[in-house]
Structure formats: C-alpha cells, structure tokens
Chains A and B, each alone.
Chain A
Amino acid sequence: NAGVMQNPRHLVRRRGQEARLRCSPMKGHSHVYWYRQLPEEGLKFMVYLQKENIIDESGMPKERFSAEFPKEGPSILRIQQVVRGDSAAYFCASSQEFGRNTEAFFGQGTRLTVV
C-alpha cells in the first residue's frame, strides 16, 4: 500500500505564474489535508477536504489559493499568480476517517520556489 504521494517534489515558478500541486491519498483514505511550512516555521493548516467537498478552509489565504478533491483523481492545491512569499514546502496528509484517534499520514511534500 503506497503512502501519500505528492508531486512534483520540487516546483519552480516565476512570479505571476500558476502552481499546481498534486496529492494522491493513501488507498482507502477519503480525507485530505493541506499544510504549508514556511522556512524556519512549523506546519500551518490550510484546508481540509473530502471527496468533492471542502470541509474547512479556514487556513487558506483569501485570494489566489484554491483546492479541490474530485471524485476521481488526486487532490489539487492551486496557487494563481504566485509571489515570492508563496515559496514554501506544501504537505498533504490523508486519513481514513475523521476523528481525534485517527492518524493522518503525510506525504513528502512539494517544495515550491518562486523566482
């Protein structure tokens, strides 16, 4: 059973371009979470999704950022018109259920560099 797969591992974008980050959850997991890690900081929650639904997007910037988790295919975190401050590591996690005793499994992250 493969773990959480994120691609690409590294992504370089020029200012103003779009960045698309993909996350395939573990098999059987229907809950996906995105976190952002800025340099020298811990991870910050961005968004929680189930299939075709955004459950909690309280950590998402109001503009330029969007996320989806379609019925088929990976979850996508999309950043439009990237700026230098978007440079960070973006981690995806998945879980089988929703609840305090349920472990979230993390992917290896996508490191976005905006030049």
Chain B
Amino acid sequence: AQSVTQLDSHVSVSEGTPVLLRCNYSSSYSPSLFWYVQHPNKGLQLLLKYTSAATLVKGINGFEAEFKKSETSFHLTKPSAHMSDAAEYFCVVSFTGGGNKLTFGTGTQLKVEL
C-alpha cells in the first residue's frame, strides 16, 4: 500500500523568507511524486513532479523538491516566499502499476505574512 504524510498542517512564513513544506511517503513500488497547489475555491495546479529522473526537481513559481530515497522524503522548498504563494499544498504519490491513481496527503496550508 502507498501513503503520504504531510508533517505540518499549517506553515506560516514572512514574505521574502524561505519556505519548507515537508512530505514523507510510503510505497512498496518505485513511486512517482508530485506537489500540487490549490488556491481558495480553485482547482489544483501541478507545481512539479518526480518520476525517477533527476532527484532535484524544479517546478513553477520558483519551487523545487528533492527526492531522498533513504529518507523516503520529498520536501518542497522555495528560497523566498511571496504573498501570492499563500495556498494549500498537497504532496501526492502514485506508483508503477497504479498509473494516475493518485494518493493525496492531507495538505499543508501556507500562510505568508508581511
């Protein structure tokens, strides 16, 4: 069985400071990992994805994530937060053979303060 754990339900940062959203996964198979962002009353937008190529993945809006197999982690980072980054972020896993059947974490609400 596969699962994903987002360690923080809420993260608050000041504008211009780094962002770290933590995610650990469990998968019996070689996983694909994704980060999605959801702005209020909007759909989900793909930020980035890892599919067994480079372990450091760069996404949109300056976000990146590093796949660490030894730690079963896929943390999302951004060097400098912007007010427009305030949203909910979901870490998502799928596995070989599961196709696009995605397993979502419970989400991390990011708040960006002036």
Contact pattern, B 73-111, Cβ under 8 Å of A = 1, otherwise 0: 000000000000000001000111011111111110000
A100 near B95 with CB under 8 A, answer yes
Identity of the chain B residue whose Cβ is nearest the Cβ of A31 in the assembled complex: B100
A99 near B99 with CB under 8 A, answer yes
Q: Determine the distance from Cα of A111 to Cα of B101 in the docked complex, in whole angstroms.
A: 22
A108 near B43 with CB under 8 A, answer yes
B95 near A33 with CB under 8 A, answer no
The tally of residues in A whose CB lies under 8 Å from a CB in B reads 27
Which stretch, B44-52, B55-63, B64-72, touches the partner chain A? B44-52
Nearest chain A CB to B74 CB, angstrom units? 15
A25 at the B interface (CB under 8 A) = no
Per the 8 Å Cβ criterion, residues 18-45 of B in contact with A are 32, 36, 41-45
Nearest chain B CB to A7 CB, angstrom units? 13
Contact pattern, A 25-59, Cβ under 8 Å of B = 1, otherwise 0: 00000010101000001111100100000001000
Nearest chain B CB to A47 CB, angstrom units? 10
Contact pattern, A 99-114, Cβ under 8 Å of B = 1, otherwise 0: 1111111111101000
A24 at the B interface (CB under 8 A) = no
B98 near A106 with CB under 8 A, answer no
A100 near B43 with CB under 8 A, answer no
B90 near A43 with CB under 8 A, answer yes
Residues of B within 8 A of A35 (CB): 102, 104
A91 near B43 with CB under 8 A, answer yes
Residue in A48, A91, A100 whose CB lies within 8 Å of B44: A91
Instruction: Report B's interface with A, CB cutoff 8 A.
Output: 32, 36, 41-46, 49, 51, 90, 94-96, 98-107
Q: Which 5 A-B pairs have the closest CB atoms?
A: A42-B104, A108-B43, A106-B44, A100-B32, A43-B104
